Structure 1
């Protein structure tokens, strides 16, 4: 009975949101912070119950709708994204839950084929929230809860567009969805480019979570990422190769090589793959991975190396490197990771690569020139 009595006296969603916002302002004041944090933790716990309900009683759709509207009206998501690193541990977890529920909330009757209303609101009106969540990787306390919230938001292509194309500095307005210019090359100083350093230079927990979000962006949103990589090819792969593939961290290095293979072998990225495997410098980097001291780095490197060798239209630069190293490769590959005796696919791929290297011409062939000559000959014959 007490439960129902308390529910009757519960405060309205708008009141809870305003109280939470006021407390968020107070935790930045060192003198009042301890008491404010204690009160704020209670408010966030209460708000979590409002959005997700309890084991006994589910959330009330009308109450959740009112809470979402009040949250947007008071700009609470922005305040939470800026202050989450200051919250106590349990309050950070509650904030993560609140955020995630609000991001995917759909009112009764809302079309299932449209973006959730809060997602749409953020990308058109308050994309600073998304960028602040990314900057959560700057603080160890906020990295993982912000990462979880980001990955919930990144289920939508429009959120990925904001992360990829925003180039604002801290304190500046961030990009809106209507301002995204897919064909405009970037300078490399936006929030997306900071993931390289967050992955490479942070402690293990932050690095691992940042890499998970980074991979989510690059592998989930195929159409937008393919366009993005084509427009920013040199800048992106320059940093990917130099920072991630050559990282001093074994975990970062191995994961990044594996991610590179995923990107290149994704059918949606065919144009990107062909451009990457045209580069002799990229091939040299890949061949260096085959000689790494760690077997899993060698193994992941092999799956990128095979793309260069299997390409039937190898560039002159790639052909020249393979031809110059033909004898060494033919001695090296049969013994490469020969203890993987139960991996039949790997064994077959090695045999295929050996055969491709054996049949390389003595001198490089310019396939682009051959194609042009053939086209000219056909045109002349038709004339």
Structure 2
């Protein structure tokens, strides 16, 4: 329920609404806004116009939204370049206006006019808007609003692809570890969507940027922050072990550095992290084509590994626990087999 004091004046056409929003946002740039009262009045006008837009898109409890008007509004906000204005003015807007904006953004992006998502196409012609939204994670006042808007964008492959391949993507490795307990989880949620929403797209990205990506990702897996380690490890399992990424997994599990990270995580003080690490570690061990370097590491550390594994239990329930114990037993036997074949001095 909205607690805005503004009620939309009716009737207004989509053209009127888009033009009014544009004019009120542009007014925030005028010299008069240096005066507090003038700024307050300008912001009130923006909020009033956003309420009108929201009611046109979702109805107001009395009047249902009209599909034709929604389509026309989507076209008009693109024509008037309102999308660019609302992104760049986000930090100036009040809480209520930002809330309405995020809701309207979600609906407008999904609006198909003919065969085209016109608002998505508009953003494709202004990709810098996505960079701007990513950078906004550095502004705690609007970080969550921009995070919501980004996740709506990521639902569309072309927009997700741009973010993945942009220099802005690397900022997520910083944002997921921000000290703000609200912003960091939101940034991780967006980061996760980027790596899981479009499997083929992510597979192509990881293929092209394998080394730089996993160099950065290792820092998350070895972070001193427990939440970062746990979330990153769980996410790694999700996108690494998915079938479209099998070629990435095969490359990952033959590299000694990655094995060492998993072995370190098997010793983590958190049982949850130990269990998650095991599910990736077991792929290194079970790999029938393990390179000699991997076998040597397993043999050299077999006593410590076996001790860790013997003390590791899932404890989730009878069925899951039985499966875990079976997998663990197979891994233990394989480590023992490798240890018999390779000595630390080989």
> Match for residue 163 of structure 1?
163
Q: Distance in 2 between matches of 1:133 and 1:15?
A: 27
Give the drift of 1:9: 4.8
Q: Which runs of structure 2 are paired with 1:191-340 in the superposition (5 Å)?
A: 191-242=168-219, 244-337=220-313
Cα distance in 1 for residues equivalent to 2:247 and 2:41:
57
Answering whether residue 152 of structure 2 is matched by residue 152 of structure 1, we say yes
Q: Measured at CA, do residues 314 and 120 of structure 1 come closer, stay the same or move farther in structure 2, by a change above 3 Å? A: same
Query: Hey, what does 2:342 align to over in structure 1?
Result: 363
Q: Which runs of 5 or more structure 2 residues have no equivalent in the other structure?
A: 1-6
Per the normalisation by structure 2, the TM-score is 0.88
Cα deviation code 1:152-207 (max 9, x no counterpart): 222221111111123xxxxxxxxxxxxxxxxxxxxxxx111111111112412111
> What residue in structure 1 maps to residue 323 of structure 2?
345
TM-score (norm 1): 0.80
Name 1:19's counterpart in structure 2. Answer: 20
Unaligned runs of 5+ in 1: 1-5, 167-189, 365-383
- Do the aligned partners of 1:78 and 1:128 also contact (CA within 8 Å) in 2? no
Give yes or no for contact 2:8–2:51 (8 Å, CA) kept in 1: no
Q: Give the distance between the partners of 2:214 and 2:245, measured in 1 at CA.
A: 14
Q: Is the 8 A contact 2:18 2:77 kept in 1?
A: yes
- 1:201 to 1:305, Cα distance in 2 relative to 1, 3 A: same
Assess if the C-alpha contact under 8 Å between 1:50 and 1:63 holds in 2: yes
* Partners of 2:175 and 2:221 in 1: CA distance: 14
Q: What is the CA–CA distance in structure 2 between the aligned matches of 1:55 and 1:131, rounded to whole Å?
A: 36
CA distance in 1, matches of 2:61, 2:210: 50
1:35 paired with 2:41, answer yes
Give the superposition deviation at 1:258: 0.5
- Quote how far apart the aligned CAs of 1:65 are: 2.3
2:21·2:49 contact (CA, 8 Å) conserved in 1? yes
Shift in Å, 1:66: 2.4
After superposition, what is the alpha-carbon deviation per residue over 1:247-292, rounded to whole angstroms, capped at 9, x for unaligned? 2322121000101111221111011111111111111111111111
1: CA distance, partners of 2:9 / 2:95: 30
Which stretch shows the higher mean deviation, 97-106 or 58-67?
A: 58-67
Contact 1:310 1:356 in 2 (8 A): yes
Aligned-partner SS, 2:152? helix
- 2:211 alignment partner, SS class: helix
Of stretches 129-138 and 94-103 in structure 1, the one that deviates more from structure 2 is: 129-138
Helix, strand or coil: the match of 1:58? coil
Q: Deviations over 1:8-65 (max 9, x none)?
A: 9523322322222232234454423222222211111111111122333221223222
Which residue of structure 2 lines up, in the alignment, with residue 82 of structure 1? 88
Counterpart residue number, 1:102: 108
Give CA-to-partner distance per residue, 1:190-226, whole Å, 9 cap, x none. Answer: 1111111111124121111111111111111111111
Distance 1:85 1:249, change over 3 A: farther
Q: Cα 1:348–1:18, aligned 2, differ >3 Å: closer, same or farther?
A: same
Deviation of residue 362 (structure 1)? Answer: 1.7
The CA distance in 1 between the partners of 2:195 and 2:329, in whole Å, is: 31
